[in-house]
């Protein structure tokens, strides 16, 4: 189960980074993919009791929400 969540987080993060790097009209969706990635990795951090990973991804979730708000809403 955790392996699948890690892969979801990884793939979503790669797509998000690619979208933002392209700097095209739909680039704001990169933050939505980053949000999915951050939530997935935060879940992994919680389940594995990796507090540093959980803290980092928690901050990233907040940043991703800000990006979604500013770019998509």
Structurally, the chain folds into a number of domains equal to: 1
Alpha-carbon dihedral sign for residues 14, 16, 9, 57: positive
Answer whether 0.75 is exceeded by the pTM. yes
pLDDT for 36: 99
Spatial distance between the Cα atoms of 8 and 1, rounded to a whole number of angstroms: 11
What pLDDT, in 10s, does the model give residues 9-59?
A: 999 999 999 999 999 999 999 999 999 999 999 999 999 999 999 999 999
Range of the domain at 10: 2-72
What is the 3 state secondary structure string of the chain?
A: CHHHHHHHHHHHHHHHHHHHHHCCCCCCHHHHHHHHHHHHHHHHHHHCCCHHHHHHHHHHHHHHHHHHHHHHC
């Amino acid at each position: 189960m955790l392996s699948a969540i890690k892969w979801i987080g990884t793939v979503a993060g790669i797509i998000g980074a690619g979208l933002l790097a392209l700097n095209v009209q739909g680039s704001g969706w990169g933050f939505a993919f980053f949000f999915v990635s951050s939530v997935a990795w935060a879940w992994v951090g919680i389940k594995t009791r990796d507090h540093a990973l959980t803290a980092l991804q928690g901050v990233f979730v907040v940043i991703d929400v800000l990006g979604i708000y500013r770019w998509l809403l």
